[in-house]
Amino acid sequence: MGRFIIRRLFAMILVMFAVSVLTFLIFNVIPNGDPAARMAGKNSTPGQIAAIRRDWGFDDPLWKQYLNTMEKVFSGDLVSYANRENVVDRIKDGAPRTFVLAIGAAIIWFVAGVALGLFSAVKAGKASDRGVTVLALIGISMPVFWLGALMSYYLGYKLGLFPNGGYVPIAQGGFFEWIYHLILPWIALSILFIGVYSRVVRSSVLDTINDDYVRTARAKGLGEKRVLRHHVLRNSLIPVITLWGLDFGAVLGGGAILTETVFDIQGVGQYFQESISRLDVPPVLAITLFGAFFIVLFNAIVDIVYAALDPRIRLS
Amino acid sequence: MTNGKLLLDVEHLRVGFRTEDGLVQAVDDVSFQLRSGEVLAIVGESGSGKSVSALTLMGLTPRLNTTFEGTATLEGQDLLNATDDELRRLRGEKIAMIFQDPMTSLNPVQRIGGQIVEQIQAHRDMGSQEAYDLTVELLERVGIPRARERIRSYPHEFSGGMRQRVMIAMALSCDPSVLIADEPTTALDVTIQAQILAVMQELRERTDAGIVLVTHDLGVVADIADRILVMYAGRVVEQGTVDEIFYDPQHPYTWGLLGSIARVDRPRPDRLPSIPGLPPSLHNRPKGCHFRPRCRHEFGQCAEVPALEARDPAAPLHTDRCWLPLDEKRSKREIADGQIGLEAKGVIA
């Protein structure tokens, strides 16, 4: 276990280094990438641009710019090129919103996906299975920006059942307002995942249900419920939990860009989207690192959980 | 035949599966009885219907698109028309099964102790501690050393032979009156096979249970069985005591099976004798005697299905499905195979 953690930590540093270098380089080669020109504004003289370039260190060799930026990421002094806000503070503000969105949605999609998948597998071939399959495919096919916009428009604006986007912290509006504003985003973010997970769970359960040890469990005279819970589900959820860990990590790291933007959550994902559209390198770099951290972290957690669920797997 | 209590009574059992290509009659008119303390071997090659027969008695054949005919009772209780819940209560309690492949028959993520305790508690009102103590006792009985520690092991920490011992212990956990062993040694290597057979042999001596041993290997059953049922393409082609089958086999298919046992007491032939041809597809079985296309002694009458009946008045319980007259059978089988296992008892293939 100790060796596993050290190895994973080392891998995490390596991945984050690679991700930061790549992100940094990409923004230096794309056209219209000169931050000095953009910071100076439309009616600027070449002299003003040169001055900004000098002041912000854009004249330095790339490796030096990279090191300076990375130093600021970790000291918390990183400043946006677009509006000179402190990037790390913005991420700190947005992170709780993103976490709340991700945790709620991940629970919803896991529970609903497993329940629907199991139902579908048990009823395999029957009309109810086909019905769930069709629903799952519809869910998978609906893009979040479209579904979110429709939900927000009809359920929020037209019918007034839900607030039209926005995020209200508990401290501000109380628990009820907080949940009330989160229901639509949670559902919008979950629907695609529910579709995918119900399909994965269905096929995994159908694989397991024909395994010899399930036949043994029946031959022992166990009730069908116990067979399903203890022998089928436990084994067929192992691959699903891997998938869930990785998806959850990605959403926690700001991956729910569309949902956050459509519902104006003001989380890390939405900040990411705004920064990309302004070609604002410092926040993009910082959020990419933030996301990579969660993805790598959850990869490691998934491996640990995997070993706990399946005794045949050893961490080494 | 022993005079124990009648446990299993199977009469004219037929099991068919409806498929896209029509009805597949996997089991076609199988009848036998099993009494307590008796070992009945069902022998035949793959697809002969022996495993389907065994699974049907457990109520484990899929119900969907399956047709059942005939009757099967366990201590008087109807097995074919029992409800799911009635069957569930019988399984593991009155009738238990050991499967072919011990490598995949245990749940890989559950400790072996728990897997046995689970069965005990499904049928007995027993506390965990008591159930665990019983499990340790069962595992010791089937020859697992340090059983009290090993109950905490996972299946992958056991070898194939050890896992099969666990399966046997599990099957025995509720003292079933009928034990079905479906090719319990097929997936194991030869030395382990002998060990598992020794466990089964001991079991047979110690319990009152009736045992149905399903196998494709006549060598396996020579020591352990009382009676043998030879199946071919879904039908019983010969039935008799071990002595009758080994010393006086009546059906050419049985001759072939006996001839293809690898013998250590005979000079080794260049190639093991085999029965020419392949067993028929169950979709398209030959009319009349199913063995006809592979039989060297086929003649006109074989186009009709021979009844399963006794041919020798001296052995009324030795039945077979072959039209050849008795004396012709006895002369032809010597010439035909030269290898007939008349002394094959005691040989493990």
pLDDT, mean of residues A280-291: 90
Q: Exposed, middle or buried, B281 (CB in 10 Å: 0-12/13-18/19+)?
A: exposed
pLDDT value at residue B263: 67
pLDDT, mean of residues B309-336: 83
pLDDT, mean over chain B: 87
How do residues A144-159 score in pLDDT, each as one tens digit? 889 988 998 888 888 8
Q: How many CA atoms lie within 13 A of B133 on its CB side?
A: 5
pLDDT, mean of residues B28-34: 92
Q: Which of B109, B170, B173, B186 is the mutation pick for testing A, counting most A CBs within 10 A?
A: B109
Which chain B residues touch A312 with a CB distance below 8 Å? Answer: 108-109, 154, 156
pLDDT value at residue B264: 66
pLDDT value at residue B345: 38
pLDDT, mean of residues A122-143: 92
Closest chain B residue to A306 measured between Cα atoms? B109
pLDDT, mean over chain A: 89
ipTM of the complex: 0.86
Closest chain B residue to A237 measured between Cα atoms? B109
Determine whether the interchain pair A213/B122 forms a contact, defined as Cβ–Cβ distance below 8 Å.
no
A231/B contact by beta carbon, under 8 A: yes
DSSP state of A251: I
pLDDT, mean of residues A20-25: 90
Beta bridge pairs of residue B232: B235
Question: Concatenated DSSP letters for A93-146?
Answer: HHHHHHHHHHHHHHHHHHHHHHHHHHHHHHTTTSHHHHHHHHHHHHHHHS-HHH
Determine whether the interchain pair A212/B105 forms a contact, defined as Cβ–Cβ distance below 8 Å.
yes
Which chain A residues touch B107 with a CB distance below 8 Å? Answer: 213, 216-217, 230-231, 235
CA distance A33 to A26: 9
pLDDT of B272 above 80: no
How do residues A220-260 score in pLDDT, each as one tens digit? 999 999 999 999 998 999 989 989 999 999 999 888 899 99
CA distance A132 to A231: 23
pLDDT value at residue B266: 65
pLDDT value at residue A205: 95
For β-strands B210-215 and B39-43, DSSP reports them as parallel
pLDDT of A294 above 60: yes
Determine whether the interchain pair B119/A311 forms a contact, defined as Cβ–Cβ distance below 8 Å.
no
pLDDT, mean of residues B179-185: 91
Determine whether the interchain pair A219/B96 forms a contact, defined as Cβ–Cβ distance below 8 Å.
yes
Give B197 or B155, the one with higher predicted confidence. B155
Which chain A residues touch B170 with a CB distance below 8 Å? Answer: 216, 220
CA distance A287 to A301: 21
pLDDT of B349 above 60: no
CA distance B286 to B292: 8
From A257-271, B90-104, B232-246, B325-339, the region with the lowest mean pLDDT:
B325-339
Q: Please, which residues have CB within 8 angstroms of residue A262's CB and are 6 or more apart in sequence? A: A144, A145, A148, A149, A152, A165, A185, A188
DSSP state of B155: G
pLDDT value at residue B190: 83
Which chain A residues touch B83 with a CB distance below 8 Å? Answer: none
CA distance B50 to B44: 7
pLDDT value at residue B343: 44
How do residues A73-131 score in pLDDT, each as one tens digit? 889 888 888 888 899 999 999 999 999 999 999 999 999 999 999 999 999 889 999 99
**H-helix or E-strand spanning residue A257:** helix A257-262
CA distance A91 to A233: 39
Chain A: give the shortest CA distance to residue B272, in Å.
32
Which chain B residues touch A230 with a CB distance below 8 Å? Answer: 107, 110, 118
R_g over Cα of chain B:
21
pLDDT value at residue B347: 41
Instruction: Among A221, A226, A235, select the one facing B89 at the smallest CB separation.
Output: A221
A130/B contact by beta carbon, under 8 A: no
CA distance A263 to A187: 11
As given in the structure block, the two tokens for residue A224 are: 């069908």
CA distance A274 to B13: 74
Which pairs count as long-range contacts for A83-91, CB under 8 Å and 24+ apart, including other chains? A87/A282, A87/A283, A87/A286, A88/A286, A90/A271, A90/A283, A91/A268, A91/A271, A91/A283, A91/A286, A91/A287, A91/A290
pLDDT of B224 above 90: no
CA distance B297 to B277: 14
pLDDT of B67 above 60: yes
Q: What share of chain B is helix, strand, coil (3-state, %, to 5)?
A: 35, 20, 45
Instruction: Among A213, A226, A310, select the one facing B105 at the smallest CB separation.
Output: A213
Q: Please, which residues have CB within 8 angstroms of residue A174's CB and are 6 or more apart in sequence? A: none
From A34-38, A242-246, A290-294, the region with the lowest mean pLDDT:
A34-38
Single out the residue of A306, A218, A237 nearest to residue B87, CA to CA.
Answer: A218
pLDDT of B341 above 50: no
**Band of residue A33 on the pLDDT scale cut at 50, 70, 90:** low
Determine whether the interchain pair A224/B91 forms a contact, defined as Cβ–Cβ distance below 8 Å.
no
Sign (positive or negative) of CA dihedral A107, A108, A110, A114: positive
Determine whether the interchain pair A231/B84 forms a contact, defined as Cβ–Cβ distance below 8 Å.
no
pLDDT value at residue B21: 84
From A56-60, A78-82, B273-277, the region with the lowest mean pLDDT:
B273-277
Give the count of Cβ contacts less than 8 A between chain A and B.
77
Which chain A residues touch B178 with a CB distance below 8 Å? Answer: none
Buried b (16+ CB within 10 A) or exposed e, A61-70: eeeebbeebb
CA distance B169 to B167: 5
